[in-house]
Amino acid sequence: MPSLVFATNNPNKIKEISLQLPADFHIKNLIDIGCNEELPETHHTIEENSAEKATFVAKTFRVDCFSEDTGLEVEALNGEPGVDSAHYAGDRDANKNMDKLLKKLETVENRNAQFKTVITLIYKEVQYQFVGILKGKIGKEKKGNYGFGYDPIFVLADGRTMAELMIDEKVQISHRAIATKKLIDFLSNLD
């Protein structure tokens, strides 16, 4: 397995993805390569922002790397908050983001939503993308103490919210886990 940098500053993402990676898979994080800055996210789609972060790290630090960008897409809101998921209520405050979404959906019956993760791998200067989608519904209130971000209001098919899943269960089924599995399969098949 190649040695790769995971281009993220989000410790929750590092924890989740690390649990899934095989033991012979060596990842470094941004601090290991001396990158202490916010990664650029200036585009209007999850795919482009994911690619932008990976490209920035690959070019600036001359490393093979992967990044990921995730958004929550709500059907009744035409895919909102989507690429704006992190800053939906103005800053990176998960509680405020969830409160804003719950308020917008207060009188809305269609609660269908999906999480979408796009992982971008830059390997030997070539770009690859892997997508993971998980469908669910937006609940009426926050429930659960695990996970992060919108997990407390994302209701799974079995009625639990994502925040009611312990991390080892989340990494079996999540949007990020689906995309990560595709990344691992790809890397396992490299010559």
By CB under 6 A, name the binding residues for ligand IMP.
10, 69-72, 85-86, 94, 97, 147-151, 174, 176
Minimum distance from CB of 24 to ligand IMP (Å)?
25
DSSP state of 109: S
Cβ-based nearer residue to ligand IMP, 122 or 170 = 170
DSSP state of 40: P
Minimum distance from CB of 117 to ligand IMP (Å)?
7
Three-class SS of 116-133: EEEEEEEECCEEEEEEEE
Strands 3-6 and 65-74: parallel
Active-site hit among 32, 64, 69, 151: 69
**Residue 69 is a catalytic residue:** yes
Cβ-based nearer residue to ligand IMP, 55 or 70 = 70
Minimum distance from CB of 23 to ligand IMP (Å)?
24
Cβ-based nearer residue to ligand IMP, 4 or 178 = 178
Minimum distance from CB of 191 to ligand IMP (Å)?
31
> Measured at CB, which residue is nearest to ligand IMP?
149
The tokens 């999540």 sit on which residue?
A: 174
Report how far apart the first and last C-alpha atoms of the chain are (Å, whole number).
Answer: 10
Q: Are 113 and 137 within 8 A, CB to CB?
A: yes
β partners of residue 112: 137
Cβ-based nearer residue to ligand IMP, 55 or 85 = 85
Q: Which residues contact residue 87 at a Cβ distance below 8 angstroms, ignoring those fewer than 6 apart?
A: none
Could you list the active site residues? 69
